[in-house]
Chain A
Amino acid sequence: MTTPVDTLDVTGEPLDDGALVPPGTAVTALELEALLFVAEKPLSRAEIGRICRLDAASVDNLLGDLEVALRGRGVRLVVNGERVELATAPEAGALIARYVGADGARLTAAALETLAIIAYRQPVTRGGIERVRGVDSDYVVRSLLHKRLVAEQGRAETPGRPILYGTSFEFMERFGLTSLEDLPPLDAEVAGRLAEGAAEARAGAADAGADLDG
């Protein structure tokens, strides 16, 4: 827990222009919660650091404090890599969906399995997705992009610099995940068998291993 060292600015000096937080004032998890509440959009860790005048490690600590403080509350901290936001708790999902009249747009089996591949292997190229599915996935990936469930995450440093895909906040919200660590675990038995296979094929050119990019 970050403790406020000097919360009172008793000097009466005018604040440094551009400083959102007076120097020497430590930001509390309470303040961070208020900031994310007002921001109404995901903030990056860098943005939070700039606004709160904190280094990266302090931002991570503060976010950890806030995440713990919000457990069991109606509003939770949702962490998607570099970016965080406040969102309603999964337990309240049905009620809020009723209030906002959210449409439960269906996803096809192809879309769901593609989404699963992207969620567990992100960042992943379309080639990486197609190697798992064994079929052209251009249309499915584009439809997921259109639904904003996946987002481009830069490009792989491989020939052709293919686009890397990852899941979005929209994905986490739709599936009620406050962190990617909440994703349901993959089949352990199969994972063991795949690890065996990957070990056997280490020298070979088998493409069934846990290759991440192409």
Chain B
Amino acid sequence: MPPAIARHDLSTLPLATPGAASMHIMPDAHPDRATHVMMDSFDGPLALLLTLIEQRQLDVLHVPLGELATAFLEALTEVTVDQLPHISAFITVASQLILIKSRALLPRAPKLAARAVDDGIDPEEALRLRLLEYKRYRDVATVLAARLDAGVSLFHREPAAASAAGQAGARPEPGPAIDPERLRRAIERALLIAPPPPEPPEVIRRVVTIEERADIIRRALRRAPDVVLQDLLRDSRDRVVIAVTFLAMLEMTKTREVIIEQHEPWGPIHCRRWVPTSETVGEPVA
């Protein structure tokens, strides 16, 4: 058991490390399983190794990596089934850690050490460089993640008609500039033809009954012997009121209260009180 890995201390270490949000080392009640690592499906062996280092608050630049071999292998026992496709990547790093550890433990003859220099970079240094390379991107990813939360996103305009026209190469034919004076003349002519409509009356929902409209016709007939329907409805813009008034008039004809006459299509509809002695019984227009 390397001294750097003090199991009983794990539970007191901060659990969340910045940048390793998806990987948590959980203190376990079981003393033999003090290192319980929950890994996101796509965290790799370097992420695991770095998490183990940071959990122990060790310096990645100087920590003897071989001392982490045991902890790494223990964490590997927690690898879940969905990580099995990546297990070879974990085993590769595990084997490197064991090699590093064994090299550190075995006293090396000066001759061997010299050969190691000839071999090029030593495995611990190679793994540390990979770890550092990985760490710089993982660390900068947390800076980027903070930007996502900072509300500094940029927004572009969504493509619309102008862009479609640009893509299609559509360009209007160049023509003479339109004289605004023509526009003024046009609106003046239009105003002459169609006088502005009166202000629409306030709309109030109400029930219009035939009886109520019949009373209005009766009141009008008390004031004049002959009432023209169109005059009666002059200020009425509500189609229901117009229709019900017309229906009331027909109803009154049926009960022989009034007589209605219209001499030509679309002409004025005249309405008179029915007088039994009258000789001018017209054909009621339905």
Q: List chain A positions with a Cβ less than 8 A from chain B.
A: 15, 37-41, 76, 78, 85-91, 93-94, 96-97, 100, 102, 104, 107-110, 112-113, 115-117, 119-120, 132-137, 139-140, 169, 172-178, 183-184, 186-187, 189-191, 193-194, 197-198, 200-201, 203-209
Q: List 25 A-B contacts (CB under 8 A).
A: A87-B156, A93-B152, A93-B155, A97-B155, A100-B155, A108-B22, A109-B43, A109-B141, A110-B42, A110-B43, A112-B141, A135-B42, A135-B46, A173-B156, A176-B150, A176-B153, A184-B144, A187-B135, A187-B139, A194-B133, A194-B136, A197-B128, A208-B126, A208-B133, A209-B129
> By the criterion CB–CB under 8 Å, are A175 and B137 in contact?
no
- From A109, A190, A200, give the contact of B23 (CB < 8 A): A109
Complex Cα spacing A197 to B138, Å: 19
- Identify 19 new A-B residue pairs, CB closer than 8 A, beyond the known A78-B154, A87-B154, A176-B152: A90-B153, A91-B152, A93-B150, A93-B154, A97-B155, A109-B19, A109-B47, A110-B22, A116-B137, A120-B137, A133-B47, A135-B47, A176-B154, A184-B140, A187-B139, A187-B140, A194-B133, A197-B132, A209-B129
Complex Cα spacing A133 to B232, Å: 89
Contacts of A194 in B (CB 8 A): 129, 132-133, 136
The segment from B85-93, B181-189, B221-229 found at the interface with A is: B85-93
Q: Give the Cβ gap from A105 to chain B, nearest Cβ, in Å.
A: 9
Interface size on B, residues (CB 8 A): 57
Q: Give the Cβ gap from A213 to chain B, nearest Cβ, in Å.
A: 15
Complex Cα spacing A197 to B157, Å: 46
Q: Does B151 make an interface contact (CB < 8 A)?
A: yes
Q: Does B256 make an interface contact (CB < 8 A)?
A: no
> By the criterion CB–CB under 8 Å, are A201 and B42 in contact?
no
User: Which residue on A lies nearest to B166, using beta carbons?
Assistant: A39
Contacts of B45 in A (CB 8 A): 134-135
Contacts of A110 in B (CB 8 A): 22, 40-43, 47
Knowing A109-B21, A134-B45 touch, does A40 contact B89 (C-beta < 8 A)? Answer: no
> By the criterion CB–CB under 8 Å, are A190 and B135 in contact?
yes
- From A93, A108, A117, give the contact of B137 (CB < 8 A): A117
- From A93, A184, A204, give the contact of B151 (CB < 8 A): A93
> By the criterion CB–CB under 8 Å, are B120 and A96 in contact?
no
Contacts of B203 in A (CB 8 A): none
Contacts of B19 in A (CB 8 A): 109, 113
Residue of B86, B120, B149, B153 most packed against chain A (CB within 10 A) = B153
Contacts of A134 in B (CB 8 A): 44-47, 89, 93, 130, 134
> By the criterion CB–CB under 8 Å, are A102 and B153 in contact?
yes
Q: Give the Cβ gap from B129 to chain A, nearest Cβ, in Å.
A: 4
Nearest first, the 7 A-B pairs at minimum CB distance are A135-B44, A176-B152, A94-B151, A204-B120, A208-B129, A90-B152, A112-B141
Q: Does B158 make an interface contact (CB < 8 A)?
A: yes
Q: Give the Cβ gap from A138 to chain B, nearest Cβ, in Å.
A: 9
Q: Give the Cβ gap from A130 to chain B, nearest Cβ, in Å.
A: 8
